[in-house]
């Protein structure tokens, strides 16, 4: 894979510092140097100490990554929302984990994406998950198709430039919900469970912002944006204020409306393209089980 830039500064600068400004890490430079890549200036191979001058054309050729040998293939088709040579956005169904785990090495989105890459014959088949979703959360997931894109998107994540918004169906004390509200309550592990979390003064800071999208007699559809990323944050916060997610048995959600997983869907994903800097935004309608409940109460 090849990337080309024009050096536009008046003062000279070594290639290594210029590439650092472009997001090329020391690790990626090492791959280029030792695994068959190239650095060129004006079409001629140079090393990282070469001094650039105004209007020089800098090219890097990144060697193919191959594949993760240990990631198994799952031929189940994926629902592709967007794809280019650097990015892949998919709509993840509920009930599917994002990545393999020790005791569940297959049947995850990573396994499905690898099989897709394999079928397409892509030279880069390493799976780079940028945004994960819990197993029972549906919606938009972002993959980088090579390590350079992954590094640049990780930088956006650290700078909070990758925005994910969710929709959830909640019930309970709906009168406690505001049209636009915040839940600012710290979250810690629940000592009674390996998985469960709880609100605790000893926990880590956690902030959840929400808007009521639709209020019905027994259920409300809320839009949610996380301002921190604690495990089970949405589920814990809404349970704590008396409005647990439908289908979320762990946190006291209603189980009598046909939803058997937490009614949570990542419907909006926004970030800047790592190479064109274009603002990209994707939206995805809620999954069928949530849509059925919305239709039931509408009728």
Q: Do the domain assignments include residue 246?
A: yes
pLDDT tens digits, 174-201: 999 999 999 999 999 999 998 999 999 9
Q: Do the domain assignments include residue 279?
A: no
- How far apart (Å, rounded) are the C-alpha atoms in residues 297 and 299? 5
CATH of the domain at 232: 3.30.2350.10
Q: Identify the domain boundary among 61, 82, 108.
A: 61
* Positions marked active-site: 134
Q: Do the domain assignments include residue 297?
A: no
Structural domain including 133 reads 66-159
Residues 148, 174 within the same domain? no
**For position 106, what pLDDT does the model report?**
94
Kindly report the three-state secondary structure assignment for every residue of 202-228: CCECCEEEEEEEEECCCCEEEEEEECC
Residue 239 corresponds to which tokens in the numbers above? 């349970």
Burial pattern 7-20, b for ≥16 Cβ within 10 A else e, equals: beeeeeeebeebbe
Q: Do the domain assignments include residue 71?
A: yes
> Using CA of residue 172, residue 173, residue 174, residue 178, what is the dihedral sign?
negative
Question: What is the phi-psi region of residue 29: left when phi exceeds 0, alpha when psi lies from -120 to 50, beta otherwise?
Answer: alpha
- Per-residue pLDDT band for 104 (boundaries 50, 70, 90) equals confident
The pTM of this model reads: 0.93
Give me the number of domains the chain comprises: 3
Cβ atoms of residues 189 and 244 within 8 Å: no
Residues 168, 234 within the same domain? yes
Q: How many Cβ atoms are within 10 Å of 91's Cβ, its own excluded?
A: 19
Question: Within 13 Å and on the Cβ side, how many CA atoms surround 280?
Answer: 21
Share of the chain above pLDDT 70, in %: 100
**For position 103, what pLDDT does the model report?**
79
**For position 299, what pLDDT does the model report?**
62
């Amino acid at each position: 894979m090849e990337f080309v830039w024009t050096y536009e500064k008046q003062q000279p600068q070594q290639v290594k510092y210029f590439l650092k400004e472009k997001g090329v890490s020391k690790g990626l430079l090492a791959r280029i140097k030792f695994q068959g890549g190239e650095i060129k200036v004006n079409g001629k191979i140079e090393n990282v100490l070469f001094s650039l001058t105004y209007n020089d054309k800098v090219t890097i050729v990144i060697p193919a990554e191959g594949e993760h040998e240990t990631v198994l293939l799952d031929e189940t088709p994926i629902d592709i929302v967007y794809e280019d040579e650097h990015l892949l956005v998919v709509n993840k169904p509920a009930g599917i984990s994002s990545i393999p785990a020790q005791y569940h090495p297959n049947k995850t989105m990573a396994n499905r994406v690898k099989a897709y890459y394999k079928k397409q014959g892509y030279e880069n088949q390493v799976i780079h998950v940028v945004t994960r979703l819990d197993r029972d959360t549906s919606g938009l997931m972002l993959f980088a198709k090579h390590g350079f894109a992954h590094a640049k998107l990780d930088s956006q994540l650290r700078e909070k430039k990758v925005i994910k918004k969710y929709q959830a169906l909640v019930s309970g004390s709906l009168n406690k919900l505001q049209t636009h509200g915040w839940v600012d309550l710290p979250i810690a592990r629940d000592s009674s469970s390996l998985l469960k979390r709880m609100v605790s003064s000893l926990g880590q800071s956690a902030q959840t912002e929400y808007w009521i999208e639709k209020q019905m007699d027994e259920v409300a559809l809320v839009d949610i944006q996380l301002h921190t990323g604690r495990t089970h944050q949405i589920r814990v916060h809404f349970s704590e204020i008396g409005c647990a997610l439908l289908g979320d048995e762990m946190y006291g959600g209603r189980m009598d409306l046909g939803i058997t997983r937490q009614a949570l869907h990542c419907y909006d994903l926004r970030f800047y393209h790592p190479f064109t800097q274009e603002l990209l935004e994707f939206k995805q309608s809620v999954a069928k089980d949530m849509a059925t409940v919305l239709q039931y109460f509408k009728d």
